[in-house]
Structure 1
Amino acid sequence: MARGPSRGAGIARVALAFVIGAIGGAVAQATWSDHGAPPVAAMPEPPAVAPGVEPAGGEPSAPNFVYRYLAPPSPALAEVATQVRDRDLLRKLPEVQWLDGLLMLPETITYVAMECGEPDAYYLPDKREVVLCYEMMQVLYEQGAELATSGDVSSVVGPDAAADASPSDIAQQYVWANLRFIASHETGHALIELLDLPVTGRQEDAVDQFATSVMQRIGGEHESPEQVAANLRLAGHWFLARADTGFSLDAYADTHSLGLQRYFNLQCLLYGSDPERFAGIVARGDLPESRARYCPAEAGRASEAWMRLLRPHLAPRYAMTEAEAAEWMRQRGEPAPTAMPAQR
């Protein structure tokens, strides 16, 4: 659960409305270039077809997602809600659009933007709804603006991106990267429930892996490796911003791993997907070497596990055999499962 709004919430609401407008307009053109911000992924058609395999014509497509924007009771959130609705922001989340129509689901998933009374996001199984709260968007902007003016921005987005981006650019990218991760995370919960997918261990950890994997998959086709890494590091920063230094029994008993643990898990999956390309994560100290040695195997297992779980549920036009799926992953450079080093 995110922290509550700060005293500067009124100013932040106005600024957030501008940021959402900038995001929506930029994504509609598949780039933020008109706003001087780093490029963002375009919204592709579902690419989950093995190379050389054409979708079968005339076969039924999967149900589409539904998107709803509820007017907030609080006047303070009215401007933000209007911007989100007018820009149709939920429909423009790249990972959500990629999944929309990719799978055969027994029921349609509805994405809802609404006032929740607190900064949050969640999946409602009884309604099949993924809820993204206006208050959460407000907090994301506040944290993004704080990061943009701090000395930490270079270590989070990389020195090149930090040098070329204004504080407003960084705040925009922070909001957008985290909305993408959070929506993907909650979609993971929805898929587990609707498709009755088997999960061992904490479901929260599994859907963090899903969100990381799908952001890498989408970003890998439409963003540079540096942009993919920056987006996932910004999502990881969200965990750090919510982390406490002193934990109660409730925190240890929570269904979520601690914020710091989620941060390092995300760094591990990113590093493990391509240790050479993302060696800087270890070099900067964002991931201890003692954990990094396990990450290639961990990332490979997570990617393959989600592929195996979802493959039987692909819409007929995107169906593939297990061998075709393995070849598709290989050609895309997805991390392959490797032997795990000995563990105590």
Structure 2
Amino acid sequence: MRKIALFILFGIICSSLQVHSQSNTVPGFKLVWQKASAETGAIANKLYYSEVFTHVVNDLNAMFALPRDVYIVFTSSDEGAFYSSETGYPVVTIPYETAADDREILDAGGYGETDEELDEILYEELEFTLYHEVGHALIEVLQLPTVGRQEDVVDEFAFYVCMRLGYTNTIYSAALMYDAFSYDRDDAIEDNDLMDSHSLDLQRRYRLLCLLYGSDAENNAYVLNEMDLNEEQMDTCIYDYEDLIKNWYRILYRYLRQ
């Protein structure tokens, strides 16, 4: 069913006029906006007119030199955000439904004192999600080597992209989203959660906060208020950050424009 939906989706992409990118002749990231359903029209307009994701894609194109196009598609889907190349084309899908659900969870959890703050957290955590899915795309398109669970790898890829672009707030908002997800659960953690391809939401939150602290222990000391770390763990965050930046550069340097 998902494969059929992907073929339909890419057929729509090919005929769409709402494609935004640096150049349609140079391979790179192509941003596509598809029509929303009646239920998601409001959130789709909010995302589109914010222009946040136009800037995100422009930043990605300024950062990476790609051998072929990678499509980033905002559309209606009940699948959640995902990457697929089943159509023969690399496509990152960000559903309007995901954005609407995330905003509802953030609002229910009291994240953001105003609608503007809530929207800012939403845009930033969706930006991190987009980088996460782009990580899956580049692993396939560029045939990047990976060790360990790919979902953990692309979380760290997303962190790396944010750091290169100077988007530390995006990292913090992603950590807030994982915190919100963990409190939104109304059931206990079960075996299938422990065997999931993703780490647990709180693990992902703590990992991002640890790396964020490690990137600048003095200026990012505020994240320690959200983690009870001993001195050895704090030092580990610094070492882990240094290793991550060094190793991702080694993997990506051939494809980096800047």
TM-score range (shorter-chain normalised) is 0.7 to 0.9
Q: Are 1:146 and 2:108 an aligned pair?
A: yes
Q: Is the alpha carbon distance of 1:174 and 1:102 closer, same or farther for their aligned partners in structure 2, counting shifts above 3 Å?
A: closer
Give TM-score, length-normalised by structure 1. Answer: 0.61
Opposite residue 125 of structure 1, the aligned amino acid is S
Tell me: higher relative CO, structure 1 or 2? Use CA pairs within 8 A at least 6 residues apart. Answer: 1
> For residues 101 and 121 of structure 1, what CA distance do their matches in structure 2 show?
23
Opposite residue 80 of structure 1, the aligned amino acid is I
> For residues 173 and 63 of structure 2, what CA distance do their matches in structure 1 show?
27
Q: Is the alpha carbon distance of 1:287 and 1:307 closer, same or farther for their aligned partners in structure 2, counting shifts above 3 Å?
A: farther
Opposite residue 78 of structure 2, the aligned amino acid is G
Find 1:112's aligned residue among 65, 73, 76.
73
Q: Are 1:123 and 2:83 an aligned pair?
A: yes
TM-fit CA distance, 1:231: 3.5
TM-fit CA distance, 1:214: 1.7
> For residues 84 and 296 of structure 1, what CA distance do their matches in structure 2 show?
35
**Which structure features the higher share of helix residues?**
2
Q: Is the alpha carbon distance of 1:210 and 1:313 closer, same or farther for their aligned partners in structure 2, counting shifts above 3 Å?
A: same
Q: Is the 8 A contact 2:28 2:66 kept in 1?
A: no
Identity of aligned pairs, percent? 28
Find 1:237's aligned residue among 165, 176, 188.
176
What does residue 133 of structure 1 align with? 95
Find 1:302's aligned residue among 244, 247, 250.
244
Q: Is the alpha carbon distance of 1:260 and 1:66 closer, same or farther for their aligned partners in structure 2, counting shifts above 3 Å?
A: same
Opposite residue 132 of structure 1, the aligned amino acid is I
Q: Is the alpha carbon distance of 1:239 and 1:107 closer, same or farther for their aligned partners in structure 2, counting shifts above 3 Å?
A: same
**Structure 2 counterpart SS, 1:75:** coil
TM-fit CA distance, 1:66: 1.3
* Count of residue pairs brought into register by the alignment: 229
- Gap regions ≥5 residues in structure 2: 1-21
- Gap regions ≥5 residues in structure 1: 1-44, 46-60, 154-165, 221-227, 319-344
Give TM-score, length-normalised by structure 2. Answer: 0.79
> For residues 164 and 158 of structure 2, what CA distance do their matches in structure 1 show?
10
Q: Is the 8 A contact 1:192 1:198 kept in 2?
A: yes
Q: Is the 8 A contact 1:236 1:267 kept in 2?
A: yes
